[in-house]
């Protein structure tokens, strides 16, 4: 997401569809991935799909690898708007709220420019952060002992005896094909995909 590479994110949607479908309890996420894929490859025109794929992130600070999700940016903007509405007190009205919402972006930019001009230090959190050097050293020591990148047949994790070597090993291909066919039928009938009832086939 930081790279802002929409094409790579779209490819990850295809991979995540399988992973979410393989794990119980993640069906809603699998449907979301399916909708994204079908939307970009079937429903939308080539121009609309290109815009949808490449407009999933925003870079409002500038610089390389500093993109954020577009919905996260909207949450930040909403926080600014709510702060403006809160300060209205008795002057709060529909018209005033609409004006504040429209002006929030420019208001934020004016504030940032002013802070830059007067060399105001950026407000930072009062929380202290412990150094991760000791943790990093411990992890490196464990990696040297475990050697996770060396192939070893029937390797087991003592703390996680049920962990699968392949996260897609629980994916039932037959059920997955039926699941896709069912949602394909729903799409043809123009039925909503938001509610996925996991039927027993």
pLDDT for the residue numbered 115:
85
Give the chain's mean pLDDT: 83
Report the helix count and the strand count for the chain, using DSSP H and E: 7, 2
pLDDT bucket at 33, cuts 50 / 70 / 90: very high
**104-121 in b/e burial notation, b at 16+ Cβ within 10 A?**
beeebeeeeeeeeeeeee
This prediction's pTM: 0.62
Lowest mean pLDDT among 112-116, 122-126, 147-151: 122-126
**In the chain, % of residues over pLDDT 70:** 90
């Amino acid at each position: 997401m930081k790279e802002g590479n929409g094409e790579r994110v779209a490819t990850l949607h295809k991979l995540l569809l399988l992973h979410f479908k393989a794990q119980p309890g993640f069906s809603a996420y699998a449907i979301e991935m399916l909708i994204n894929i079908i939307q970009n490859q079937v429903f939308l025109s080539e121009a609309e799909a290109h815009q949808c794929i490449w407009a999933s992130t925003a870079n409002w600070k500038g610089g390389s690898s500093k993109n954020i999700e577009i919905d996260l940016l909207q949450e930040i903007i909403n926080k600014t708007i709510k702060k403006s509405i809160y300060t209205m007190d008795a002057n709060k009205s529909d018209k005033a709220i609409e004006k504040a919402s429209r002006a929030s972006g420019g208001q934020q930019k004016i504030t940032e420019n002013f802070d830059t001009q007067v060399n105001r230090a950026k407000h930072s959190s009062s929380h202290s952060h412990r150094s991760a050097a000791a943790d990093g050293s411990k992890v490196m020591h464990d990696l040297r002992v475990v050697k996770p990148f060396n192939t070893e047949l029937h390797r087991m994790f003592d703390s996680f005896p049920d962990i699968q070597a392949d996260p897609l090993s629980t994916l039932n291909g037959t059920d997955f094909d039926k699941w896709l066919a069912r949602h394909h039928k729903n799409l043809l009938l123009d039925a909503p995909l938001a509610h996925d009832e996991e039927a027993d086939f």
